[in-house]
Structure 1
């Protein structure tokens, strides 16, 4: 198994370029991030080239304070498209493979229509550069009121849009809290999955603590033939290096 360090949570005490270097030193095979826009893309690209690590993905802007994405917000289409453009431009400058388009806090048919419209725009723009657009269901405890909450809802939207570069971000942490049955869901949804993330459940800490047996889940993912690095998106609750015991067996 290979793993990607999500630098939105890991090594947040370091600058983004230094966090990339720390991930390389720790044995990660890739990195990903949340909102890198305060760091010049040239500095990120230099660190990626120095370490040889690919950047797998980044998020569209959350929007205004208290928001969690713009793409499903009725009446915010222009801002949502601008956020997509910003993310894809940064992805191009850093050779990042995927952009997670964040839906935001919204409900109802108008929100669905807004999300589909933004995703249609995003997939068309991303296809020009061979990039993937990801959508991710978030759980109701951490993100109450978020538009996208289940894998069924996400895969229905993926089918509705029909773009080959629109994929599901399967975060084991969120899926376990909302739906459970990780092994069967991973197997059934594998054709729609563009990236897999994980964290301990229910505290979103290191993956070797909590109710999910990730040794089993990782082995199952391997047996399904999934070969991309899995995203470690957990809150370390202290120095990141002190939480990496789970990674050591996979580096031997």
Structure 2
């Protein structure tokens, strides 16, 4: 059966971030993920993980100035130094927190920049990131994100992400497959998962429409979970959804995921 991790950026949001670890453990989760840890000292987050007996399975590299519209730096010509600094920061946090993989957000295409240059910059930065991660014993993930929720994001489809990874040729680089984003962009979830299983390092879920918990929308999660068992997916699935109500009230699906 798939293993599920609570995404603390999305779940238990009625309490401060550092209090969400205990809530996740009390709800029955044994692992967590989140977008960005950088507003808190790594040692403080590690203490919360250890006190609650939780494993951290994922966080993102710094994505630039989120409030100003940045959604990752990897595709931005002229921001190589900022990107490399973000890689160093991400590695430092990963080594304290004990996580084995980080998501490198590709970013939104900067206005007025040639598409070929954006792609070249993305590949060069991802190659650098994968090399630094390999030296640190980490996996690098690349996530396609739907262009309805995040207009301008440069990686939108699974096949596109796989092609970029093929161009890199790095054996520690994988796709982060988010079921919600994939459903919005391409559908064909079961067939795509089977076709690209060897390239997928991590998964996330939310139902569609609404990006709420499984069972609230059109996706047949019971079928997908059985399918993942059948094709042999052994990684974690991050629960990256907006609960319709309090998080615990919507966890019935987790008690009987199939």
Tell me: CA distance 1:175–1:168, structure 2 relative to 1, closer, same or farther (3 Å).
same
The answer as to whether partners of 2:60 and 2:90 remain within 8 angstroms in 1 is yes
In structure 2, the residue matched to 1:225 is 232
| Distance apart, 1:207 and its partner CA | 1.2
The answer as to whether partners of 2:222 and 2:257 remain within 8 angstroms in 1 is no
The answer as to whether partners of 1:29 and 1:229 remain within 8 angstroms in 2 is no
The answer as to whether partners of 1:100 and 1:133 remain within 8 angstroms in 2 is yes
CA distance in 1: counterparts of 2:58 and 2:12, whole angstroms:
17
Secondary structure at 2:74's aligned position in 1?
A: coil
In structure 1, the residue matched to 2:54 is 53
| Distance apart, 1:10 and its partner CA | 0.7
Of the structure 1 ranges 20-29 and 180-189, higher mean CA displacement relative to structure 2 is found in: 20-29
CA distance in 1: counterparts of 2:184 and 2:10, whole angstroms:
19
In structure 2, the residue matched to 1:193 is 200
Unpaired runs of 5+ residues, structure 2, are none
Is the counterpart of residue 125 in structure 1 residue 144 in structure 2?
Answer: no
CA distance in 2: counterparts of 1:99 and 1:53, whole angstroms:
17
In structure 2, the residue matched to 1:67 is 70
Is the counterpart of residue 208 in structure 1 residue 197 in structure 2?
Answer: no
Work out which of the residue numbers 95, 115, 140 in structure 2 matches 1:108: 115
Of the structure 1 ranges 11-20 and 225-234, higher mean CA displacement relative to structure 2 is found in: 11-20
In structure 1, the residue matched to 2:4 is 3
Work out which of the residue numbers 149, 152, 167 in structure 1 matches 2:159: 152
Number of residue-to-residue matches in the alignment:
251
CA distance in 1: counterparts of 2:43 and 2:17, whole angstroms:
12
| Distance apart, 1:169 and its partner CA | 0.3
Unpaired runs of 5+ residues, structure 1, are none
| Distance apart, 1:53 and its partner CA | 1.8
Secondary structure at 2:141's aligned position in 1?
A: strand
| Distance apart, 1:233 and its partner CA | 0.5
CA distance in 2: counterparts of 1:218 and 1:237, whole angstroms:
22
The answer as to whether partners of 2:91 and 2:136 remain within 8 angstroms in 1 is no
- TM-score scaled by structure 2? 0.93
| Distance apart, 1:250 and its partner CA | 4.9
Secondary structure at 1:247's aligned position in 2?
A: helix
Is the counterpart of residue 89 in structure 1 residue 96 in structure 2?
Answer: no
| Distance apart, 1:97 and its partner CA | 1.4
- TM-score scaled by structure 1? 0.95
